[in-house]
Each structure stands twice: as C-alpha cells, then as structure tokens.
Structure 1
Amino acid sequence: MLLDIFLKGDLTGIDLGRQLTEENIAFIYLSANSNQEILAAAKTTEPYGFIVKPFREKDLLITLEIAQYRHEHSREARWRREADLIQQLERSVSGSSDWKEQMLRTGTILQLEVPFDFLTVGIEDPENAVSFLRIGFNEYQTIGIKELLTITGITNSELVRTVTASGKETEAAFFNNEDFEKVTNRTSVKKLIRNTFHMRSLLSFPLQTDGGEISSLCFYSRRPDTYTTEHISLLLRLQPALVKNIERATVGSAVAGAKYAAKKPAPPALVGVDTGGRGFEGIIGSSHLLLSVFDQIAQVAPFDTSVLILGESGTGKERIADSIHSLSHRSRKPLVKVNCATLPATLIESELFGHEKGSFTGATEKRTGKFELASGGTIFLDEIGEMPVDLQVKLLRVLQEKEIEPVGGRLPIRVDVRVIAATNRNLEREVAEGRFRLDLYYRLNVFPIVLPSLKSGSRTSPPWSSIF
C-alpha cells in the first residue's frame, strides 16, 4: 500500500500504518511533509519505505520492488529463524547433562531473540530453581538458591516467604520501566531481583508441562524498554519445543542424579559459548549496553541488511563496522571506508563513484570509485550526516538501483555492495530541518545500532562478584 501521512479528517496515515503493521500488510509512506515528531511516530509503525515528493516514476517502482522483496523475505526469514530455534532447542538436551547446564543452553539459544541480563527458571520451586546472570558476550554466571541467598543477604526462610508471597505465574506478560517498578513494588522475588541486579524490565512466560507442573521463564533486562508483544508471540510459537526441552531436561537430570549427587558440589562456573573473540577485536567492555550492541552485531552480520550506526564521537563506530563485516559472508571481500566529513564537497561524487579521464578540470586519468572497489564486499560511509543534499539524491539511487554512474561516464556500472553508515548527528533533527533526505534516512536506517555514550560508564565488576 502507498500511504500519505496527512489525510482529510482527524486521523493520519500513521494511524492507519499501525493497523497495517498489526495485520502484516506492507506499506510505504509517500509524503512531502516531515518533522522530527512525525518521523519518530512514523518509525514506530515499521514501514517498508518512505518516498519524498516530488519523486521520479522510476524511484516509485524501485521502492515498491524493494518493499515487496523485504516483506516476502522478512516472513521467510522469520519462519527459517524459528525453525532453526526449534532445532537448536531439540538438539540442546543431553541426557547426561546437569539441569542447570541444560537450562543455560536453552537461555543462550533464546538470547538473540529474547535478550536478557538475568534469567530465572522455575523460581517458584526453590529446590530446582536456577538463575543466570549475564556478565559478558556468551558468558553467564550460574546462580543457584545458595548463591542467591549469599548475594542478597537474606535467609532461606525469608526467601521461602518471598516466593510464597509472589505466587505462581499463570499468564505471559511483560513490563517495562515504570510498569516494571509498579508490579514489583510489593514484596516478591521480582522485587528482590530488581533491586539486587538493577533490572528495569521483565518478561514472564509460564510453561505448563504434560504433568500439569508450571515452570516459569523470567527474562530480566537492565534496559528500560526491552520487551514487546513480539517477544511473547515468539515464545508462544516456541512453547511446544520449550516444554519438551524442560521435560527432557528434567528426565535427563533424574537419570544422572545419582552420579551428580555423589560429586562434591563445584563452585558456580562461568559458562558460555567460546567465540574466541572473533569479530569483536579491539572492543573492550562488559556493560549491559555494550553487550546489547554485540547481540545486534551478531544478529545482523550474516545478512546484507543496511546498518546505520549512531553514537557520539569516540564511541567506536568504525570498530562496530569492522565487526559487522568480519562476521559476515563478505568478510573475504574488501571493506572500503569513506569519511564523508573529510572530503571536499566537490570531490565526494568522484571519490564514491569514480570518474573518467578528462571529465572535469584536473581529471588527468580514470579513477575507480569506492563503490566499485567495494563490490562484493562492504562500504562504510562514516559521518554520513555531513554529505551534501544534492549528493544524497545520487546515493539514494545507487542504493535503490544497485548501479553507479562515474563522473563523465556513459554507461552505469552494476555493483554488489553492503552499506554500513555512521554518524554522530541526530539524523531525525537533520531531516526535520531539511539537511538530510527523509527517503535516504529510511533506506539507511533498516537496522540501527545505537552506541552507548562514553560518559554513561560501565560497571566492569559487580559488587557481588568477589564472593565467587
């Protein structure tokens, strides 16, 4: 559907866009009106494109083709992703493994789709409850009841009273920021976890086994806006696999119980998937904000999706681009970097698209542009917010049509390039003030990654770490 924003009457195209999103109908905004407030509202409806009036017929047709492709492949990608998740869950259960290890494997499988900084499994049953605190990329601290008592400083009887007062979960629900604080104000395990580990949002998902027992998965995050209805919908679709996973894990732990009981209990271990650090070289930190960035990199790297990296100067935007490229299937091809802020406005077009000999004064020889050099690989456009508006139009057409026209050239050249852009500017404000094209912003902002401010800091060693 092509949808204008300002319509006759009280409602706008954005109001209709929300309904179209709920019904999984693809749509493209087509409008000459934009300001920061409208752009922010339009983004929440997840359109498949944005065309600015006036426009060329070719621009419209290409945008429609891209939107149709993205819509069809987003559904297929979701189905493939969910099928892969189910297979991973089924493969994760080993009859000889400890229950805690099996539940940790379940959590790490879900991490990219349902992010968490703290996960509890079966907290209603203190004897079998287990929690996992995320301390690094694919690194988790396993916390049993004894460890939880030591960290919180409460007694076992106090914990039992707290669990009893909390009751059992019966429905899936999520709570962000203020809502999370409201539902955890009364005495409960959730309040205990919120205050101890500084959590700001929660997704609770109860699972009922064939035997009628309920075991809740509670995902906690330090971010205030982590969870949405999409996460619950995904877990509902994964529910049969999760129930089987827990049932088989319980049986497997029972079989291995005698061997496990005979061993001397080991101290809580740091358990995780060994990545060898590949793909994140040169990035140091373990704050939950940076771990969220790592998750986003791991999620988007395998695909050719355009990425827009946003953050203040000095936050490492170029390092993030390096990581995305090195973890992608294009890693053996070039990563070409262009700093749009350091190039004279008169030379940017030649730098990006190349030029023919004699095409302008000083063009004494043919020059191959950065896009052509990056063909098959990735181009990183740093400080994209500094690009002149007239060149933004040409860049948009390159992204749409997958071909470049060298300065003075007669024929276009096809290119296969993944685009990663970065800026320290507020592009929504730039759009509202007419310095950045709205349609180019939407074309680049397919997968935004917002880097945490350096002044936000990070706690590299939580106060309870010394007890381990």
Structure 2
Amino acid sequence: MKEKILIVEDEFIVANDLKIMLKKAGFQVTGIASSVVQARKSIKDKKPDWVLLDIMLKGDLTGIDLAWELREINIPFLYISANTNQTTLEAVKETQPYGFMVKPFRERDLMVMLDIARYRFDIEKDVENPENENYQPIEGIVGNSQLLQDVVEKVKIVAPADTSVLIVGESGTGKEKIAHSVHQLSARKNSKIVVVNCAALPHSLIESELFGHEKGSFTGANTQRIGKFEQANGGTVFLDEIGELPLDSQVKLLRVLQEKEIERLGGNKTIKVDVRIVAATNRSLEKEVAEGRFRLDLYYRLNVFPIELPSLRDRKEDIELLSNYFLKKYAGASKKNIISISDEALKQLQQYDWPGNIRELEHLIERTVLLTKTSGITQFELPKTTEKPPSEDGNSELKSLEEIERDHILKALQSSNGKVSGVGGAAEVLKIQAQTLYSKMKKLGIDKGYK
C-alpha cells in the first residue's frame, strides 16, 4: 500500500512541485493545506501516514503549533522551510521532527530525507519502551543507572543498522567509547574504525587528511596520501568534535554522505567508499546552524539517530561502580595492591559535581592510586570550592540524593505550570535536555501527566 502524505504549505508553487515529486516516487498525496485549520480537517478525514510541514502558514498558527498536535496523535512529520534562525530552530527541535529540509532543494534530497525520516520513525518505535528488566550491559560501558541503560539500549538497536549516528554530550561523558561500541556491535566490526578529531586538524590540511592527496598536488606533497575515508573503507569513520569542522569541509563531507565517493586532492577521478559515519559533539549544533557555522542539511544527515549521553552528575548512582572499575584498572597497571575505596571516600565523590564528567573521575582515581601507600583509598583530593558543605545540624535527618532530586524536579515543574519542554519549561529551568528530564521523571516516578 502506498504511504499517504499530507502537504502543509501555503506557497502554491512549492506545494505543487512537492506533489509532483511525491507522486512520481510512488507516494499518495492526500491533499495540500495552507493553514493549520485546513490541515486539521485533512488529517481527520484522510488520516495521512506522514506530513510535510512548512513553518510559516496562513492564519495565526504556525507549523510548529501543528507539530505538537501531530506528536500527540503519533503522526510523523518533516519540516520544509526557509527559516533557519536560532529561535525557530530551537522551537523546531523541541517538537522532535524526523527531518528538516531547507528551501530550495533537489528532488533527490527530498527522497533521501524521506528515507532517513522513515528509518528514524521505525527505530524510535523500537526504542520507546526498551525491556530494561532484561538489561544486558555492553563491555566497557560501566553503570546501572536508568539514564545509562537507555543509552545502551539505543546503541544495541542502532549498531546493526548502517545509518549515521550523532552522539551528543558534555566533554568527558564517554562519546568515543559509545562510538567504538556502535562499531563493535555492527557488521563492520572486523574492519577498521578510524578516529578523526576535527578540532585538532589544521585548517589547511583537513581535505588532505580526510580525503587524501596525489603526489605533487601542492607544495610539500612528495608522495601520494590515502585519506581517513579510504583507510576506513568497509568500516567506520568516527568524526569527533564535528562542530569544529569548517564550512567548506562540511560541503565536502556532505557530498561523501550523499554520493558515497571522494576525490583525492589534486586527483581527477572519483573513488567509491563504503563507510559508516559516527559523529560526536559537545556543542549545540542547532545554535551553530542558526549562527551560520554549521550546515543544516549536514546536521540532519548526521542526526539520523541521535544518542544523548548524560553527565556524571545526572547519574551519580554509577559513581561507585565506575570508581571501582578505574581502581582495578590503574592498580593493576601500576602493580599496586590497592583493593578498596572507603565509604567516606565514596561519599566525597558523591558530593562532588563532576564538571569534567567520567574523564575527570578516571584521572582522579589514576592520580590517587599513584599517591596511595596503603591497600585502600580513604580520601580524595577534590577542588574545595565544589564540595557540598556539611549539614549545620549533624543530628537532623538528611534526605537521600534521589529524594532531593525528586523535590527539585517537582519544584521546577510547579514553577513552569507542569510544562516540561520548550520555552519556560522545567527542562529550561533546570538547564537540562527535555529527554533527560523525561527519563528522570520516569525513574523517580513523577506523574507523566506533566509531559
């Protein structure tokens, strides 16, 4: 059966072109609506499988308003718009679309974006309710928190596929570890994973590093060089800190994703490459797009399957497991008989806020192991300014960290009148991602009526 698509677009020429493209590709177009009011009626009468959605429409309501309604009734949608300012992009992101196309676009781009969107929608249905009762960890990823379990389940689902993955998280949260896990659980595991730190590449050498060069292509090119993409042929390229890649290099990367081919610098032929792209960033790529530093079309090419890594301060229940894991690793490496961390020392770790996340914890354990002369660690040297002060009333009953967190989230929800995401929502108040807040609410048993 042909998939049914509703076009919500107030420019007749654009809408008609879309209709022709979709019919040619075998889709059934249920209609064209120029306003949210018309779209609502068409959705009710025709029940489309997908909606292509412009942002600026006739009437008082926008495509973003309709997007929230589509989320409620579980109809997937893609935006088609020329509007890419930061405020709009942030509002768009909150609705969790399955794609965003910038006008004007090619017919081929539309078909590729629809394929990506359909894949994301199918995957999302599998991720919505992972069976964490039967949770099985991935080797090297340490922790039992609900937030980490959600990440692991997403890795297991996406790894066997060949789609692009975008890993988002603060510095030190373990993005490269997740990238390697995606590769190791994929059909490409027997081929290379080539790691590229985009932030460390000299601007003048980026093209040569990624795509290679021919002998004599520039001054100093005394031999032929095989670039990272050719080196990874059949395997995976991990583009760390993708947000640091300059715009001209982004154009070339987009071509690789679209055409599956490269050209060496100074060469005169195209070379087919079979690579999977896993990218990572600690930046807000939406902000980078809005400020003109990152291409929107590349963002959505990479963002086919996003995985957001929680900060360590959001999964403090994993600190003890992580600490013992690193203790065993570095005690063994230094051939020291250190076998334990005292309860008081663990309490210190729990009270610290971990701005450097897991990387900071690992370095602290490594350093402490080298300095410790007994069989157990009894104290850590932590920055004084970030430790929580002791209770003034030593006899008062202290709440658990989980209780404090639950109370804090409830207060944020109350202050935002129950709104979780978007401008003025509890996620904004708490300065965390909406999806992270939803996960915490689920874990803490907070009424989902706030959703």
Q: Give the TM-score band, short-chain normalised.
A: 0.5 to 0.7
Cross-structure match for 2:195: 337
- Identify if the C-alpha distance between structure 1 residues 311 and 409 changes in structure 2 by more than 3 Å, giving closer, same or farther: same
Counterpart mapping for 1:398-437 below 5 A: 398-437=256-295
Alignment of 1:285-434 (within 5 A): 285-434=143-292
Q: Find the aligned partners of 1:29 and 1:398 in 2 and give their Cα distance.
A: 23
Alignment of structure 1 residues 50-449 onto 2, 5 Å: 50-52=100-102, 60-70=106-116, 112-115=127-130, 138-139=134-135, 280-449=138-307
Deviation string for 1:201-225 (max 9, x for gaps)? Answer: xxxxxxxxxxxxxxxxxxxxxxxxx
> Residue 36 of structure 1 corresponds to which residue in structure 2?
86
Q: Helix, strand or coil: the match of 1:399?
A: helix
Deviations 1:139-185 (A, max 9, x none): 5xxxxxxxxxxxxxxxxxxxxxxxxxxxxxxxxxxxxxxxxxxxxxx
Q: Tell me the CA shift for residue 5 of structure 1.
A: 2.9
CA contact (8 A) 1:49 1:439 kept: no
Q: 1: CA distance between counterparts of 2:195 and 2:258?
A: 20
SS in 1 for 2:179: helix
SS at match of 2:316: coil
Whole-angstrom CA distance in 1 between matches of 2:291 and 2:297: 14
Structure 1 Cα separation of the partners of residues 77 and 104 of structure 2: 22
Task: Choose between structure 1 and 2: higher strand proportion.
Answer: 1
Is residue 98–residue 121 contact of structure 2 (8 Å, CA) maintained in 1? no
Q: Which has the higher contact order (CA 8 A, sep 6+)?
A: 1
Matched residues in 1 for 2:97 and 2:121: separation?
A: 15
Instruction: Report the AA paired with residue 379 of structure 1.
Output: V
CA, structure 1 residues 292+73, in 2 after alignment: closer, same or farther (shift >3 Å)?
closer
Against the structure 1 CA distance between its residues 410 and 8, is the aligned structure 2 distance closer, same or farther, given a 3 Å change threshold? farther
Q: Give the whole-Å Cα distance in 1 for the aligned partners of 2:238 and 2:92.
A: 26
Distance 1:452 1:7, change over 3 A: same
Q: CA deviation at 1:336?
A: 0.8
Match of 1:12 in 2: 62
More helix by share: 2
- Contact residue 211 and residue 265 of structure 2 kept, 8 A: yes
- Deviation (angstroms), 1:65: 2.6
Find out whether 1:454 has 2:295 as its counterpart: no
TM-score when normalising by structure 2: 0.54
The equivalent of 2:444 in structure 1 is none
Q: Aligned partners of 1:43 and 1:78: how far apart in 2?
A: 16
CA–CA separation in structure 1 for the residues paired with 2:259 and 2:100: 16
Q: Where do 5+ consecutive residues of structure 2 fail to align?
A: 1-6, 8-17, 19-52, 322-399, 401-451
Q: Deviations over 1:382-407 (max 9, x none)?
A: 00011111211221122122211221
| More displaced stretch, 393-402 vs 311-320 | 393-402
Contact 1:300 1:324 in 2 (8 A): yes
Number of residues of Structure 1 aligned to a counterpart in Structure 2: 270
Partner amino acid for 1:387? L
Given that residues 27 and 48 in structure 1 are in contact (C-alpha distance below 8 angstroms), is that contact kept between their aligned partners in structure 2? Answer: yes
Deviation at 1:281, TM superposition (A): 2.8
User: SS of the counterpart of 2:194?
Assistant: strand
Change (3 A) 1:73 1:385: closer
> For residues 277 and 313 of structure 2, what CA distance do their matches in structure 1 show?
29
CA distance in 2, matches of 1:291, 1:67: 29
CA distance in 2, matches of 1:68, 1:306: 15
User: Percent of counterpart pairs with the same letter?
Assistant: 59
Distance change in 2, residues 1:48/1:448 (3 Å)? closer
Which letter maps to 1:11?
A: L
Q: Would the alpha carbon gap of residues 74 and 437 (structure 1) be closer, same or farther in structure 2, given more than 3 Å must change?
A: closer
1:385 counterpart SS class:
helix
The normalised TM-score by structure 1 is: 0.52
How well do the aligned residues superpose, as a CA RMSD in angstroms?
Answer: 3.0
Contact kept, 8 Å, 1:49 with 1:63, in 2: the verdict is: no
- Which stretch of the first structure deviates more once superposed, 440-449 or 313-322? 440-449
Contact 1:381/1:419 (<8 A) preserved:
yes
Name the SS for the 2:200 alignment partner: coil
Q: Which runs of 5+ in 1 are unaligned?
A: 82-111, 118-133, 140-274, 464-468
Question: Residues 312 and 8 of structure 1: is their aligned pair in 2 closer, same or farther, counting only changes over 3 Å?
Answer: same
Aligned-partner Cα distance in 1 for 2:183–2:255: 23
Counterpart-to-counterpart distance in 1, 2:267 and 2:123: 38
Of stretches 17-26 and 444-453 in structure 1, the one that deviates more from structure 2 is 17-26
CA distance in structure 1 between the partners assigned to 2:309 and 2:118 by the alignment: 30
Q: Residues of 2 paired with 1:45 and 1:340: CA distance? A: 30
Letter in 1 for 2:268: R
Query: Which stretch has the larger CA shift, 308-317 or 393-402?
Result: 393-402
Once the two structures are TM-superposed, the CA of residue 11 in structure 1 deviates from its matched residue by: 3.1
Query: 1:26, CA displacement in angstroms?
Result: 5.8
Conservation of the 8 A alpha-carbon contact between 2:123 and 2:157:
no
What is the CA distance between 1:360 and its match in structure 2? 1.4
